[in-house]
Chains A and B, each alone.
Chain A
Amino acid sequence: MTSLGRLRPLAAGGLILGVAVCAAVLAPALAPHDPYAQAVGARLIPPVWEEGGGWTNPLGTDPLGRDLLSRIIYGARISISAAALAVAVSMVLGVLMGLVAGYYAGRVDTVISNLVNLMLAFPFLLLALAAVAVVGPGFRNMVIVLGLTGWPIYTRVVRAETLKYREREFVLAARALGLGSWRVIWGHVLPNLINTIIVMASLEVARMIILESFLSFLGLGIQPPTPSWGSMLGEGRVYMFTHWWLAAFPGLAIFMTTLGINLFGDGLRDLLDPHRVLAAATARAE
């Protein structure tokens, strides 16, 4: 593939992601209706291309007569911000633990590595489910639970990379000059890991959106009437035998957003990771 061809997924992903983020940021301007406004006379209207549908509610309405399109647009706010916050929490925690384990090695490393193995052995979803059930549903609790259960993946990668860098000449030189551990980690190790961390975090946002949606789908995440894609899908599931659009569109929104993020993250990895690109170039050369 040409170098321009390699940028295609990045561009496609960026475009989809851009649309989703715009929807989230500009929701009040874009949504044709108030996402909370109920209309008893306009219950369960089908999408515009089905018989009985109309342009007033292009994607139809829910059992309370609320406009589905507006709720999906507002849902972008909840789903994307919950996922981004959860990723921020788990990333900070995971990266810190990884740096400490990799740099100090020895006993600290043993403890942290075993903790990572322990967390990775858990069925992550079940752990998050049980934790949310215990602390109670809601936006804040869900972000905390997803953040506190999602860190090991960063720790594992950052630890391995830090172990590699701590023996490199420039790090040894910085230590020989008498810099403190934290200054070496902060100024000389971490900057080399930034690309890896950005790529991981961007891909994790997609995973967190799906997890958040599933928790809300089960009724353990965002609570009604707040529109989130997962809780809308959960509500729509009840009506799937008679009114398919209620489940179809919120799920499509989740799918498109995670697809956009994955394409973007993969593209970013190809762009930022020189090792990988070099490896690909050698592979092409043979």
Chain B
Amino acid sequence: MTVYVAHRLLQALFVCLGISVITFLLLHVAGDPVLLLLPQSASDADVALLKQKLGLDRPLVVQYIAFLGDALKGDFGQSLFTQESAFSLILERMPATLELTLAGTLVGLAVAIPLGVLAAIKRGSFLDRLSTVGAVGGQAMPIFWLGIMLIILFAVKLRVLPASGRGTLAHLILPAITLGVYLAPLTMRLTRSGMLDVLTQDYIRTARAKGVVERVVLFKHALRNAAIPIVTILGIQFGRLLGGAIVTETVFAWPGVASLAVKAIRTYDYPVVQGSVVFLALLIVVVNLLTDLAVAWIDPRIRLGAGRD
């Protein structure tokens, strides 16, 4: 286990470093923040002055090391517009993003798991086919469109729910449904196939042969074992979930980290872009790491397989 943990930690560290390099290069090599910030009429002297002020006249490597050093201290610089610390802007918005992703995950699971289990038990039935069709439809759904359609229906036509913003539980309903629809199809399909897999195992046949009640067989014996791949997939899907959150936050003007990042991208507020991209990417790395470790702890075959995939 120790070898596996060390290997995984080292890999995560490498990924973190890589993320910082890519983000840094993207913003400093692919584009020149100064040219983006100043009007086209700016003189060379203006450009040089701003470069000096932002420390962009130093060699790239020096800039990167400074960036990395500051980032380790949680300092991503200040927003070019509000002069606030980018990191505190991100932290301020974090609870909103967590609230949304948690609510979306709950909605997604509440739909996907019962449907997946039922579809597996009643394989080939009308319900199975209906939920499979639903999953295919859900996977094709552009959720930014779904969000807008939900707003038009529930906020504009029926006037029962708010169209945007955060605050009450009512504000959370539409964004959570939107994100839930994004997450549910894949989770449902995996739950279904996981259940089908488990249901053909010998221990299920044994349990049935012993005369164990079918309900107990399904929930105690089958679902428990099917849960391991589901948990893994949920962890791995965390990146996708954050992607969904970016879209959802934008559509519903939800004040989270993702909408902060999108706004910063559109206004070329590069310290905030840098900060939020690195922050969100690190979040994904940490969640993936924790998922892997948790799964390895549950399933000895993985940790004894010593880290190689």
- Chain A interface (Cβ < 8 Å from any Cβ of B): 1, 9, 114-115, 117-118, 120-127, 129-131, 133-135, 206, 210, 213-214, 217-220, 233, 236-237, 240-241, 244, 247-248, 251-252, 254-255, 258-259, 261-263, 266, 283, 286
Contact = CB atoms under 8 A, between A and B. Distances in A.
A260 to B, nearest CB: 8
B59 interface: no
B94 to A, nearest CB: 15
Contacts of B31: 133-135
B243 A123 contact: yes
B273 interface: yes
A126 B280 contact: yes
A123 B136 contact: no
| 9 nearest A-B pairs in the assembled complex, by CB-CB distance | A251-B145, A134-B31, A259-B140, A118-B18, A258-B140, A125-B243, A133-B265, A134-B30, A244-B152
Contacts of A127: 22, 26, 277
Given A129-B262, A237-B148, A255-B145, A120 B239 contact: yes
Interface in B192-207: 196, 200
A128 to B, nearest CB: 10
B140 A206 contact: yes
B137 interface: yes
20 contacts: A121-B284, A122-B22, A125-B243, A126-B261, A129-B246, A129-B261, A130-B26, A130-B277, A133-B273, A213-B142, A218-B250, A219-B266, A220-B266, A233-B145, A233-B148, A237-B251, A251-B145, A252-B145, A255-B140, A259-B136
Nearest to B200: A286
Judged by DSSP, the binding face of A is helix
A241 B196 CA distance: 45
A239 B31 CA distance: 33
Contacts of B239: 120-124
B152 A118 contact: no
A125 B280 CA distance: 11
A120 B236 CA distance: 10
Given A123-B246, A220-B266, 7 more contacts: A121-B15, A125-B247, A126-B276, A130-B27, A247-B152, A248-B149, A255-B141
B151 interface: yes
B252 to A, nearest CB: 11
Contacts of A210: 142
A203 to B, nearest CB: 9
Nearest to A1: B124
Nearest to B153: A244
Contact of A130 (B124, B148, B273): B273
B246 A262 contact: no
B246 A126 contact: yes
Given A118-B18, A210-B142, A218-B262, A123 B200 contact: no
From A120, A251, A286, residue with most partner B Cβ within 10 Å: A251
B139 A262 contact: yes
B144 A217 contact: yes
B136 A262 contact: yes
B268 interface: yes
From A210, A233, A248, A252, residue with most partner B Cβ within 10 Å: A210
